[in-house]
Structure formats: structure tokens, C-alpha cells
Amino acid sequence: MIRSALKISLPILFGFVPLGIAFGLLFQELGYPWYFASLMGIFVYAGAAQFMAIGLLSSGIGLLEIAISTFFLNSRHMFYGLAFLESFGNWNLRKLYLIFGLTDETYALMTTIKVPKHFTKERYYFFITLFAQMYWVLGCTIGALTANALSFNTNGMEFAATALFVVLLIEQWIKVKRLLPFIIAFIASGIALFFFIKHMLLVAIILSIGSIVLLRLIKTNSNE
């Protein structure tokens, strides 16, 4: 099971390591010891929020503001758990960790793949989540350690994250085979980009979910 989970989690490696390195490099400019970059990856474990933290830390902003901005930046994650209410199993430490590790990438991967029949879902998800976080911490650490000595040109590596989401989008298309969710999300993204570019992700997700709920309610009403 561990090997299978490792193999299926590898696309996240290519998304997380370059992004983690970028974080580590920037984080080092703040002048803290290198291992704080690793600690951020271990405890905070949120890509966008960690990048935001670099800016906030250098401005010495208050803790309440940090709490609020982190909350809003990550609030799209509130919708991610809905897909796993059942499959994360009973309340135990593993479930708490699975929830802790529910990032864009793990959500995207775990909602797309099919867990092989002979494996327990929550255990399989656990290893994917664990490996994903290891890639992230690895990236953050490499970035921080090599901040002054990096010779490999990593420019453009950030495209790996885009490519990962494109691949998962194609897989979703193969799996779902209904045009409606894609069209709704496309239009919602357009609206969100146009009017709320700063909170594009959250607005687009709320608009999309709002629209399908509305469509569903209209449909059930007209069937009665």
C-alpha cells in the first residue's frame, strides 16, 4: 500500500518541491535560522498563507490581523472537507491529520484517483497526505538551506503546479463527463476575476457552489 500511495503521490512532489524551495529562499531573506522554514512547512502547512506570512512578518503586523488574513486566505478549504466526510473514517488521530493535511493539491489528487479495491481508503489517503507534506517540508528546507548557494536555475519550475492541476482537470473530465460543473466554474471564475481579483479563489468557489445548489433546487421544484 505504501508503495502504491508513494507512486500516486509523485505528481505532488513536482508541484510541492519547487514551490517549497521558492518559499524557503524568500523566507531566508527575513534572517531567521533556516529550520524555521521547515517548521513553517510542518506546522502551518499552507502554501499561499506561508508566502503571505513572509510579507506580514517583515512588516511586523499584529497577531489578530495574521489570524484573520490566514483564515480568509484559506477559507476555500472549508469546502474541501465536504468530499471526505465519509471517507476519512472515524474520529481518531489519523482523521485529525488527514484534515490538517487537506491542501489544494491533496484535495485535487484524492478526489480524482480511485483507491485500489484491496486498500482501506483512510489508510491510503493517510500515506498520500503524509508523503505530500514530506515533499513540502523537503522543499521548504532545501530552499532555506541553499538560499545563498543555489546554483541550479529554478526559474519557471512553478509551472509544475499549473501542470498538476491541468492533469487533474483532464482526469476529472474523464471521470465526471458532465459539462455543467466545468462551465459553471468557468463563468464563476470570470466573474470573480473581473470583480474580486484579490479574493478570486474564494469568490469563484462560492459562486460555483451557489449556482449548482440553485440549479438543483429549481430542478427538484419543477419535478414536483
Partner 1 sequence: MNEINYLLAVMLVMTVSTYITRLTPFLLFGKGQESSLLNYISKSTPPMVMTILVIYMLKDVEYFTFEIVYTFIALLVTTGLHIYKRNALLSIVSGTVVYMIFVQT
Which cell is 220 given? 427538484
| Cβ partners under 8 Å of residue 215, min gap 6 | 180
Nearer to partner 1, 148 or 153 (CB): 153
Q: How far is the CB of 118 from partner 1 (least distance, A)?
A: 22
Whole-angstrom distance, CA of residue 16 vs CA of residue 133: 9
| Residue 125 within binding range of partner 1, rule CB under 8 A | no
Which is nearer to partner 1, 95 or 123 (by Cβ)? 95
165 lies in the binding site for partner 1 (CB under 8 A): yes
Q: Which of 47, 46, 23, 19 is nearest to 34 (CA)?
A: 23
Measure the CA–CA gap between 196 and 188, rounded to whole angstroms: 11
In this chain, which stretch among 119-127, 131-139, 141-149, 205-213 interacts with partner 1, using CB under 8 A?
Answer: 205-213
Comparing CB distances to partner 1, the nearer of 4 and 181 is 181
Residue among 25, 46, 128, 145 that touches partner 1 (CB under 8 A): 46
Among 26, 56, 134, 147, binds partner 1 (CB under 8 A): 56
Contact 140, 37 (CB under 8 A): yes
Q: Does 45 bind partner 1 (CB under 8 A)?
A: yes
Name the residue nearer to partner 1 (CB basis): 149 or 174.
Answer: 174
| Window 90 to 109, contacts with partner 1 (CB under 8 A) | 90, 95, 99-100, 102, 104, 107-108
Which amino acid does the sequence have at 107?
Answer: Y
Q: Which of 22, 8, 4 is nearest to 160 (CA)?
A: 22
Residue 52 — φ and ψ, nearest 5°? Answer: -60, -40
Q: Which is nearer to partner 1, 82 or 149 (CB)?
A: 82
